[in-house]
Structure formats: structure tokens, C-alpha cells
């Protein structure tokens, strides 16, 4: 068994098993700890439209606030890191192949949204639903954006550390480095296609991805699969009750 | 470990267990340390230090949590034999949670992870209360509440005298202990001591509206600051005691006037504290005023309030309580010129009290007030209207500190009552 086979057939499934176990560990722990007391009072009487709209207004308001007070960090973290990261994970066809292997039910939803590898591909070979948006929505550019933004966020955290304003933890830096390495190996693998280095880079990419997958439930990355959505649901509940 | 230390540690552990519920895991496990919360906190904005970032204050609680509630933490503690928390750390918590936090919840608005729970400084306060380390000026409020029935020591005799003094200003009789009235009016905890005019104005409005209301001779404070002090057992005792008085009067709804934390506590916490339905409604006075405006109950004369006014949203009323539009509906038709502050509504900046004057930390709070003051000055308003007498008193104190002489303070009920006459 070579390095690539080992990464794909042993490490990746093992990482997925750890991920699933970790996921249930966290979720079970969440439900074992008693919840806050249940409210007995009804919510405020406000128009239904307001109840529905309020959480979204608050959600958008938060991002507006971040862009106003901390524009560079906010823009880099939200728009240049998170959104491209989500897009490349879910929409780049080689990633989709892995996702559909484990979660076939996602294929009809995600497959039509696939993005091309690069702009040349977009114009010459593939026809995706994205049309002119392919200029941005292509894996090459997204990868470069992620590398650029995670490096910038890393640097911004360092600057704040030295000014004493805000000191990130080792875990915060580690998470960024992990994303950075993962994307760099992925980019190198794609661009080494057809060369002798291709398999080596791809194996490193899969190894890093496997580590990340196994690490998710035990780190801040868990927000991506659980806590962010949970917080969002709780926020919607409270805001709808209060109507403001 | 000495026996006394063990007992102390057990107390802290119990306080922790009391304070922790699963919603807290959002911080303990998944705070991304994005740092956005810092930009929302008036204490950090005037003193941008790492330890004052709201999320970092929370991390100190998280560290204790991990020692007690995670397998790895427990093993590490067994090996290193370190205490759950040191007394030095607890003293730091006093400083951070009372000196550098007013529990305004503004940091929650800036959290990109949509965290919607009180900041962890509240849980510091719960632990501090259990450890007997609550600042004296604050602890005194809890004791006064339990013994006298009012956080600032207003006795029943004082209250009855105040009622009769107020009565002498009106021709119509002010109902007291009237059973089955539609509304029970509860004075703001600060009003009786520092801004009686706001309370008199409320009564004036209710009398003019021919409202079916009553005062209670047994209830002259709806203060819920015990929640923010972390004195949760005391809060339950007081809520039970007061709920009984209200239920005995068989009123339909209680009105909190110029008391933001009272409103917040009764509207959103009281039922949880006693773990049952209250059996009566809870409204803030501005909700009733907005209703009067909508129903055209009064002809309001703006000329009676011939100035440029701005409104300060008390945190407990707007951000935490959901009362944002009603005060505006009541104020706008009652003043000549109304202008919003750059940060208003749920984004309003705290007056630095957070429903509590903490005498021991007036310096840090005065420094943080600069953020609010800039917001007020940006409006060029001559009058700041408040809907909470705790905010009113804080503004008064802070205006003096900053030598602000050309801005007047008025309560929402004073403005409204003036516009009626
Ligand atoms: S609750 Fe208010 S004062 Fe306290 S940390 Fe958050 S923003 Fe700062």
C-alpha cells in the first residue's frame, strides 16, 4: 500500500469515525448538562412579521457592526475566508466526489452547483450554472483567497497580540495554520496533476484534511457543524419572543 | 488542603453548578476568540487591554469550568493538585465583573456566532456572591431588599409617607390596595430615592387617562437587581414574596415605571425564578404610553417640550427586554425635535450602571462613560430622556464628572405628562 492509498483507505475513514464519535460525545454532553429554566411567560405581542424578521435583522446587524468596527479583520474572516472555504469544500468536484461517497443523498443538491477548477476551465471545458460568476467561483481563485485571508487574519491576530489589545491562544493560531496548510497542499496537488509529485501532495492534502476532520469535534472548528447553528436557533427563539 | 479551604472550595463548586446550564457551553467550548465583542464593550473601548475583552473575561470562567467539568481537566487537577480557583483569582473576578462590566449584553450583539446569553461576568458574580465577595455597596442592596423591601433602604413608613405627599399634589384620589384593579403601579427602585418626579408624572398620566390602577402599600420596589448581582436564591425568595402580594391584589397587569431592570426581571426572569406562571401581565410604562398615542387618548402639545431631545435606551429595557419602539412612539409626538443617538435601540451604549451603582468602581465606570457621552454629544440634543431612574442617576453623576452643564435630563413620563397639560 502506498502513501496515497494509506491516506485514502486508512486515515480518512479513521478520521471520519473519530469525527462521528466526537460529534456524539459533544452533543450528548450538551444534553446531559441541565438546560436553563423553561420560560412560563408568553412572548411579547408583536406582529408576526416582526417576530420572523427580527432574528434576521439582528443577524445582519451583527455583521454590519463587525464590518464597521473591525473592517479588515471582519472582511477577511467572513468574506474572504469563511465563504470561499465553504464554497470550495462543498462545490469543488473532487471534494464532492468524497462527500457523495459518504453522503449520497447530497448529490442531487450539490452536484448541479459544482464550480470549475480555474478560469480557463470555466471558459473552455466546463459549463456550470454559475455563468460569469465563474471568474470568482473557481477553485484556484478561492484557494488563493483562503490562503491570503487566513494569512492576513493570522497576521492581524499577531499584531493585536503585540499591541496587548487581544491575545489569541495557541489553539487560535493552530486552527489558522491547519487551514492554511490544508489549502496549500490541495492547491499544490491540483497543480501538480500529471507530474510525479501529484500523489505526494494529494496524500498530504488528504492527511491534513483527515486530521482536521478528526479534530473538528474537539476544537473551535465544531462551530461549523454544531454550535453556530445551535446558537443561531437559540438567538432566533429569544429574539422572536422579545420582538426586538 | 485545610478543612476551611476545602469547605470554601466546595462552596465555589456548588455556586458553579448552580450557575452553569448547557447554554453556557457555547462559550466554554466554542468561543472562537474572534475578538469582535471587544469593540462593543465600552470598558474595552476606553481601555483596550486584553484582559478586558469580554470573551477573555469569559475565558477565566471557562478555565475553572474545564478543571471541574471535563475529564482531562479533572485528571490534570488531580496530578497538579491545584485548587479549583484561588482567592487572588476570585478578587480579580470582582474587579472584572463589577469594575469592568455593567452586564449590558452589548458584547453579545457583536458576536459573529450569534451567542444570545448573558456574558460570563454574570456567572462570576454568582460565584462571588456565594463566596461572600460581592462588593459591599452592592451586597447592601440585597440585604436591604430582604430586610426592608427596598434596595436603597426606603421603609414601608417612608413609602406610605411618600404616597400621602404625592396625594397632596392631586385632586383625584390615588387608589391604594384596590383589589381587582387593571393595573398595579410599581415605582422604579431609584425613583423613590432620587427622582420622585418621574413617579409623580406616571401617576399624573394614569389619573388623567382615568386608568383603573392601584398602588400597593406592601410593594414599593420591583427591583430585580438580585439577578445581576448573582444572588439568585434571594431573587427567588423576593420574587415569591412579591408575587404573592400582587396575586392577593388580584390585579391583571403590573406596570414598571422608570425601572428597566425591574421590567426585565419581571417580564423575562420572574417566571423562571419561581418556576411557574406569574398569573398577571407585566408591562413597561412606555408600552401604555404608546397605546395612548395610538388610541389618541390625549392631545399632546409638543410646545410644552420645546427642545431638541434624544432618548437613551436602557440596556435592560431595549437590548435585554425588547422595548425599543414603544418609548419612541410616546416621545416623538411629545417633543419639538427628536434625534437618535448614533447607537440606539438594541445597539444603544450602556450608561455604565447596568442597573447597579457600584460605589467601589465609580472610577472605571466614569472612564467608560466617555463612549456614551460621545454618542450623546453627537446629537446636539439639549435633553436626554431616560426610561430608567438608575440610568437617570448615573447620567447625573457622570455629567457632573465630565462637567456637562448644558444637557438636561428628563424621564419619559415627565416629558409625556408635560405634553398633556
Ligand atoms: S456585558 Fe457590556 S460591559 Fe460587560 S463585557 Fe459585555 S459589553 Fe462589556
Q: What is the largest CA-CA distance in chain B?
A: 75
Any idea what DSSP says for residue B83? Answer: -
User: Looking at B133, B160, B181, which one is the last position of a domain?
Assistant: B133
**Per-residue pLDDT tens for B398-420?**
999 999 999 999 999 999 999 99
Task: Provide the number of structural domains found in chain B.
Answer: 2
Q: Examine residue B107 and state whether it is found in any structural domain, yes or no.
A: yes
Clarify whether residues B57 and B118 are in a common domain: yes
The whole-number average pLDDT for the span B28-33 is: 75
Residues B192 and B121 in one domain: no
B66 shares its domain with B46: yes
Supply the CATH number for residue B232's domain: 3.40.50
Q: In A, which residues are within 8 Å of B53 by CB distance?
A: 165-166
Question: Are residues B189 and B263 located together in one domain of the fold?
Answer: yes
Bridge partners of B216, per DSSP, are B219
Q: What is the average per-residue pLDDT within B342-362?
A: 94
108-137 of A, contacting B, C-beta below 8 A: none
* Grid cell of B176 as nine digits: 391604594
Which residue has the CA at smallest separation from atom 7 of ligand 1?
Answer: B41
In ligand 1, the atom with minimum distance to the C-alpha of B44 is: 8
- Please give the average per-residue pLDDT across B75-82, as a whole number: 88
Same domain, B123 and B169: no
B-chain CB neighbours of A74 within 8 Å are: 36
Q: Is B123 domain-assigned?
A: yes
Tens-digit pLDDT profile for residues B381-394? 999 999 999 999 99
Provide the domain limits for residue B210.
138-289
**Residue B173 falls within a domain, yes or no?**
yes
B322 domain residue, yes or no: no
Count of residues in chain B: 421
Find out whether the beta carbon of B43 lies less than 6 Å from any atom of ligand 1.
yes
Q: Are residues B188 and B206 in the same domain?
A: yes
Query: pLDDT at position A126, please?
Result: 58
| Distance (Å) from the alpha carbon of B303 to chain A's nearest alpha carbon | 31
- Same domain? For B269 and B142 the reply is yes
B220 lies in the same domain as B181: yes
Instruction: Report the nearest-CA residue for atom 4 of ligand 1.
Output: B101
pLDDT attached to residue B160: 97
Looking at the structure, do residues B117 and B215 belong to the same domain, yes or no?
A: no
Q: Is residue B383 included in any domain, yes or no?
A: no
What is the number of alpha carbons within 13 Å of residue A118 lying toward its C-beta? 6
The pLDDT of residue A124: 66
> What confidence tens digit (pLDDT) does each residue in B219-261 have?
999 999 999 999 999 999 999 999 999 999 999 999 999 999 9
Within a domain: B100: yes
- Residue A62 has its nearest CB partner, among B22, B109, B322, at B109
Average pLDDT of B149-171?
96
What mean pLDDT is reported for chain B?
Answer: 93
Give whole-number Cα distances, B189 to A73, B239, B392, in Å. Answer: 43, 15, 12
Over residues B88-99, the pLDDT tens digits come to 999 999 999 999
A227 touches chain B (CB under 8 A): yes
Place of cell 423591601: B149
pLDDT digits (tens, 9 = 90+) for B101-138: 999 999 988 888 877 777 889 989 999 999 999 999 99
Is A219 at the interface with chain B, CB within 8 A?
no
Residue B342 inside a domain? The answer is no
Rounded Cα gap, residues A150 and A82, in angstroms: 9
What is the per-residue pLDDT for A50? 81
Q: Using H for helix, E for strand and C for coil, what is the string for B374-402? A: HHHHCCCCCEEEECCHHHHHHHHHHHHHC
Q: Is B71 found in the same domain as B15?
A: yes
3-state secondary structure at position A182: helix
The per-residue pLDDT for B194 is 94
Helix (H) or strand (E) holding B281: strand B281-284
Residue B185's DSSP bridge partners are B255
CB B190 within 8 A of CB B353: no
Query: Which of B289, B315, B336 corresponds to the end of one domain?
Result: B289
Pick from B232, B263, B289: which residue ends a domain?
A: B289
B76 falls within a domain? yes
Decide if A64 touches B, using CB distance below 8 A: no
CA distance B320 to A52: 18
**Close Cβ partners of A14 (under 8 Å, ≥ 6 residues apart):** A210, A214
Residues B9 and B86 reside in one and the same domain: yes
ipTM (interface pTM)? 0.85
User: Do B189 and B49 share a domain, yes or no?
Assistant: no
Q: What averages of pLDDT result for each successive group of 10 residues across chain A (244 residues)?
A: 88 96 91 86 86 83 90 91 95 94 94 88 69 87 96 95 90 94 96 92 96 92 87 86 85
Higher local confidence (pLDDT), A238 or B274: B274
pLDDT digits (tens, 9 = 90+) for B8-19: 778 888 888 877
For A129, the grid coordinates are: 450554472
3-state secondary structure of B385: strand
Amino acid at each position: 500500500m502506498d502513501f496515497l492509498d494509506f491516506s485514502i483507505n486508512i486515515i480518512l475513514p479513521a478520521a471520519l469515525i473519530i469525527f462521528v464519535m466526537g460529534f456524539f460525545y459533544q452533543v450528548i454532553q450538551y444534553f446531559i448538562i441541565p438546560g436553563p429554566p423553561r420560560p412560563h411567560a408568553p412572548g411579547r405581542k408583536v406582529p408576526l412579521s416582526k417576530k420572523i424578521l427580527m432574528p434576521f435583522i439582528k443577524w445582519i446587524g451583527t455583521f454590519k457592526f463587525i464590518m464597521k468596527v473591525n473592517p479588515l479583520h471582519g472582511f477577511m474572516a467572513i468574506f474572504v475566508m469563511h465563504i470561499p472555504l465553504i464554497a470550495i469544500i462543498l462545490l469543488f468536484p473532487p471534494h464532492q466526489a468524497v462527500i457523495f461517497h459518504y453522503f449520497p443523498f447530497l448529490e442531487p443538491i450539490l452536484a448541479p452547483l459544482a464550480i470549475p477548477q480555474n478560469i480557463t476551465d470555466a471558459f473552455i471545458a466546463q459549463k456550470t450554472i454559475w455563468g460569469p460568476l465563474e471568474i470568482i467561483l473557481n477553485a484556484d481563485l478561492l484557494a488563493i483567497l483562503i490562503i491570503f485571508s487566513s494569512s492576513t487574519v493570522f497576521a492581524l491576530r499577531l499584531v493585536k497580540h503585540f499591541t496587548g489589545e487581544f491575545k489569541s491562544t495557541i489553539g487560535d493560531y493552530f486552527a489558522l495554520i491547519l487551514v492554511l496548510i490544508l489549502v496549500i497542499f490541495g492547491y499544490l496537488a491540483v497543480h501538480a496533476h500529471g507530474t510525479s509529485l501529484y500523489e505526494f501532495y494529494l496524500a498530504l492534502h488528504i492527511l491534513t484534511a483527515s486530521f482536521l476532520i478528526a479534530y473538528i469535534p474537539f476544537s473551535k472548528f465544531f462551530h461549523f457543524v454544531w454550535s453556530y447553528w445551535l446558537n443561531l436557533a437559540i438567538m432566533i427563539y429569544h429574539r422572536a419572543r422579545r420582538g426586538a | 488542603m485545610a478543612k476551611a479551604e476545602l469547605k470554601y472550595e466546595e462552596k465555589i463548586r456548588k455556586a458553579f453548578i448552580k450557575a452553569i446550564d448547557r447554554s453556557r457551553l457555547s462559550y466554554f467550548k466554542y468561543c472562537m476568540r474572534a475578538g469582535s465583542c471587544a469593540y462593543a464593550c465600552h470598558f474595552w473601548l476606553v481601555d483596550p487591554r486584553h484582559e478586558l475583552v469580554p470573551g477573555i473575561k469569559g475565558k477565566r470562567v471557562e478555565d475553572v469550568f474545564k478543571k471541574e467539568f471535563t475529564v482531562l481537566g479533572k485528571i490534570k487537577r488531580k496530578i497538579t493538585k491545584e485548587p479549583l480557583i484561588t482567592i487572588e483569582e476570585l478578587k480579580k473576578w470582582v474587579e472584572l465583573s463589577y469594575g469592568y462590566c455593567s452586564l449590558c449584553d452589548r458584547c453579545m450583539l457583536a458576536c459573529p456566532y450569534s451567542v444570545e446569553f448573558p456574558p460570563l461576568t454574570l456567572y462570576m458574580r454568582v460565584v462571588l456572591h456565594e463566596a461572600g465577595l460581592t462588593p459591599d455597596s452592592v451586597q447592601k442592596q440585597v440585604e436591604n431588599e430582604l430586610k426592608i423591601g427596598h434596595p436603597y433602604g426606603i421603609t414601608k413608613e417612608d413609602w406610605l409617607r411618600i404616597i400621602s405627599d404625592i396625594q397632596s399634589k392631586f385632586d383625584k384620589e390615588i387608589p391604594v390596595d384596590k383589589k381587582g384593579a387593571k393595573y398595579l403601579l410599581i415605582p422604579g427602585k431609584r425613583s423613590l430615592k432620587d427622582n420622585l418626579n418621574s413617579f409623580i408624572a406616571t401617576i399624573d398620566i394614569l389619573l388623567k387617562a382615568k386608568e383603573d390602577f392601584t398602588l400597593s402599600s406592601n410593594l414599593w420596589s420591583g427591583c430585580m437587581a438580585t439577578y445581576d448581582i448573582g444572588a439568585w436564591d434571594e431573587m427567588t425568595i423576593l420574587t415569591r414574596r412579591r408575587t404573592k402580594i400582587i396575586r392577593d391584589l388580584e390585579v391583571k397587569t403590573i406596570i414598571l415605571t422608570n425601572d428597566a431592570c425591574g421590567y426585565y426581571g419581571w417580564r423575562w426572569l420572574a417566571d423562571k425564578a419561581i418556576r411557574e406562571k406569574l398569573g398577571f401581565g407585566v408591562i413597561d410604562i412606555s408600552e401604555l404610553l404608546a397605546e395612548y398615542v395610538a388610541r389618541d387618548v390625549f392631545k399632546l402639545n409638543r410646545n410644552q417640550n420645546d427642545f431638541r431631545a434624544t432618548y437613551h435606551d436602557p440596556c435592560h429595557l431595549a437590548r435585554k427586554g425588547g422595548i425599543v419602539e414603544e418609548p419612541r412612539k410616546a416621545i416623538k409626538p411629545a417633543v419639538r425635535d427628536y434625534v437618535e443617538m448614533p447607537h440606539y435601540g438594541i445597539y444603544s451604549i450602556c450608561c455604565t450602571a447596568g442597573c447597579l451603582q457600584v460605589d467601589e468602581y465609580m472610577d472605571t465606570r466614569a472612564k467608560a462613560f466617555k463612549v456614551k457621552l460621545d454618542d450623546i454629544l453627537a446629537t446636539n440634543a439639549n435633553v436626554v430622556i431616560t426610561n430608567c431612574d438608575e440610568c437617570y442617576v448615573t447620567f447625573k453623576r457622570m455629567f457632573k464628572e465630565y462637567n456637562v452643564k448644558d444637557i438636561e435630563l428628563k424621564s419619559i413620563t415627565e416629558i409625556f405628562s408635560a405634553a398633556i397639560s
